[in-house]
Amino acid sequence: MGQGKRPLGDARNLEALERFEVVVSCQGGEYTNEIYPKLRQRGWRGYFIDAASTLRMKDEAVLVLDPVNLDVVEKGLLDGTLTYVGPNCTVSLMLMAVVGLFRAGLVQWVSSMTYQAASGAGAANVQELVQQMYEIGMAAQPILQNPAKSALQLESVVTQALRGPDLTTRAFGVPLAGSLIPWIDRLVDDGQTREEYKGMAETNKILGTDRPIPIDGICARVGSLRCHCQGLTIKLKNDVPLDEVTEIIASGNDWVKVVPNDKEPTLRELTPAAVSGSLTVPIGRIRKMKMGGDFLTAFTVGDQLLWGAAEPLRRMIRILARHLGH
């Protein structure tokens, strides 16, 4: 219809969907909850590739992040698994950064403190963050235009704007610009949020571990538009020399990039501003901690709209096409 293009089909037309050998869904959890079980109940034996979190922990699903778990994905295909799901964005980015340590069997446990961008919550939240920036900037404009005014006066005006009733907070519920939100998603067991729960659950499912590796931490939303950052504390099973650890991390996959633990490269390469739109996953601030030689700390950043969403699914489609001989 128009410009020689065919009209879009109805994504809820089960008869139309079950004619496809492969269905790729990026429509969210509500769509998956509605459509996926109906398709399976009708006897559809096609491949379902999904970006939503709904099916991630189901027994019939494989989490796909092939630079990390190609062996698990290929085993799933050989075993006849039909459902493949993209994992959580922070989990994906953590594993892209440090999978070399997991493969080497060096990881006893990990604590990940995340600093997650507004875009991880959706488009409306990105718009709200920028709107909050604008409103705060407008409130502060008279102070900024008067060099005689002090920084304390500027801070006072900004704080009043953040706490005032007029700041736009429909999406987040609270200010994010000039602040942060130390809570993502709903509460689950043991005081964790659901976002924090995914760290251990999805990491171990992605890796296909026999004995679960403990992963925990705190997930916070910060005022960047794009890219999630993580501060990692890793308890190693052995006191491995730092240069050896760095080499293992660097060899994890083609996209991880070790940034030297020096100020200039850290400021230049290890920020959302530097990484946004790139598939590179830099990791830096790598050092042994004062707690002992078997404690490692690092900081990593990655574009969660790529490795945390689109890229694993895009690559899974190619893997499946090869598997099917297309």
Three-class DSSP labels, 30-82: HHHHHHHHHHHHCCCCCEEEECCCCCCCCCCEEECCHHHHHHHHHHHHHCCCC
User: Please, are residues 166 and 135 in contact by the beta-carbon 8 Å criterion?
Assistant: yes
Average pLDDT over residues 78-100: 98
Pick the CATH number of 90-117+183-217+224-304 from 3.40.50.300, 3.40.50.2300, 3.30.360.10, 3.30.420.40: 3.30.360.10
Candidates 89, 219, 227, 229; catalytic one: 89
Domain range list for the chain: 14-87+311-324, 90-117+183-217+224-304, 123-168
Average pLDDT over residues 124-137: 98
Candidates 219, 227, 228, 229; catalytic one: 228
The two structure tokens encoding residue 139: 């409130």
| Whether residue 2 has pLDDT greater than 80 | no
The percentage of residues in the chain with a pLDDT greater than 90, rounded to a whole number, is: 94
At residue 1 the predicted structure's pLDDT band, cuts being 50, 70 and 90, is very low
Pick the CATH number of 14-87+311-324 from 3.30.530.20, 1.10.600.10, 3.40.50.720, 1.10.10.10: 3.40.50.720
| Count of Cβ atoms closer than 10 Å to residue 281 Cβ | 25
At residue 241 the predicted structure's pLDDT band, cuts being 50, 70 and 90, is very high
Q: What is the model's pLDDT at position 323?
A: 96
| Global pTM value | 0.94
pLDDT (tens digit per residue) in 278-318: 999 999 999 999 999 999 999 999 999 999 899 999 999 99
Alpha helices in 170-310 (DSSP H): 194-207, 242-250, 263-269, 272-275
CA atoms in the 13 A half-sphere facing the CB of 53:
13
Mean residue pLDDT of the chain comes to 96
d(CA 281, CA 99): 12
User: Please, are residues 297 and 285 in contact by the beta-carbon 8 Å criterion?
Assistant: yes
Q: What is the model's pLDDT at position 322?
A: 96
At residue 4 the predicted structure's pLDDT band, cuts being 50, 70 and 90, is low
Helix, strand, coil tally for the chain in percent (to 5)? 45, 20, 35
d(CA 15, CA 35): 11
| Whether residue 7 has pLDDT greater than 80 | no
Catalytic residue list contains 229:
no
Among candidate residues 17, 75, 84, the one with its CA nearest the CA of residue 47 = 84
Catalytic residue list contains 89:
yes
